[in-house]
Amino acid sequence: MGFLENKARARLFYRYFSKVYDQVNPFIWNEEMRDEALEWFGVEQGDRVLDVGCGTGFATEGLLQHTDDVHGLDQSGGQLEKAFAKFGKTDQVNFYRGDAERLPFQDDAFDALWSSGSIEYWPNPVDALAEFRRVVKPGGPVLVVGPDYPESKVFQKLADAIMLFYDEAEADRMFSDAGFTEFDHHIQQRKPGTPRAITTVARVPDDDTDHDDSNDDSETLEAEA
């Protein structure tokens, strides 16, 4: 397990990284990559969408171009403060402070779920993916963006020491273990030589009824009118 696959360390890291996140992020995950992923996601106006690991709201901003019913969740107070400053005062998004592995929502609460740049910090990614399946209605899409496993052995060792990097075979295992049966993986890259992202678009089974009890241990940041 990598150094940042620990919730306390990840929160501490983002307390400081949130200050420069919006300046650094475009070099790794830019608007073109986000918009391409949004096309695969396929949400429409009126869909209720949850953005897990919403950070400062980069993906949230893209989601709002497709539907006006967007909800953002993150475990980092620093990231949420940045996101709330962008969207909260205009009543565009409700934000929640919570854990991807214990989502504070009822079963089938959302039409779709998006998570980009978050899975690499989860100690138990299969548990989080199972939660995603629980809170999304049967037939709804779940999109997850994570860091693709590097090809260089030197970078592999470095990656393993920091956080979760994974390839398509590992993505197959994680999504299958979480109860998904339909999913596709896409490799995205800003330009040759830059870090690659692995973007998985899964669909909650139409006959999905295997749900656990919902959780309610979140802090909600309601947008003010």
pLDDT of 112 over the 90 cut: yes
Is pTM beyond 0.85? Reply is no
Q: Which of 15-19, 27-31, 81-85, 196-200 has the lowest mean pLDDT?
A: 15-19
Residue 157 backbone phi and psi in degrees, to 5: -65, -40
pLDDT band for position 17 (cuts 50, 70, 90): very low
pLDDT band for position 1 (cuts 50, 70, 90): low
Work out the angle between the directed axes of helices 7-17 and 77-87 (0-180°, nearest 10): 50
Three-class SS state of 95: strand
DSSP secondary structure, 153-197, as one string: HHHHHHHHHHS--B-HHHHHHHHHHTT--EEEEEEEESSTTSPEE
**Most confident of the following: 53-57, 89-93, 191-195:** 53-57
Which has more confidence, 119 or 158? 119
Strand order in the sheet with 196-203: 182-189, 196-203, 141-147, 112-116, 48-52, 69-74, 93-97, 219-221
Beta pairing, strands 141-147 & 182-189: unpaired
Secondary structure letter of residue 25 according to DSSP? G
Three-class SS state of 113: strand
Overall CATH class of domain 7-221? alpha beta
Mean pLDDT of 109-114: 98
Alpha carbons 198 and 112: distance in angstroms, whole number? 19
| Nearest to 83, CA basis, from 46, 49, 51 | 51
pLDDT band for position 147 (cuts 50, 70, 90): confident
**Most confident of the following: 52-61, 76-85, 141-150, 159-168:** 52-61
Domain ranges of the chain: 7-221
**Side chain identity, residue 130:** A
Residue 74 backbone phi and psi in degrees, to 5: -155, 155
Alpha carbons 26 and 115: distance in angstroms, whole number? 17
Summarised one tens digit per residue, pLDDT across range 34-90 is 999 999 999 999 999 999 999 889 999 999 999 999 999 998 888 888 888 888 766
Task: Round the average pLDDT of the chain to a whole number and report it.
Answer: 82
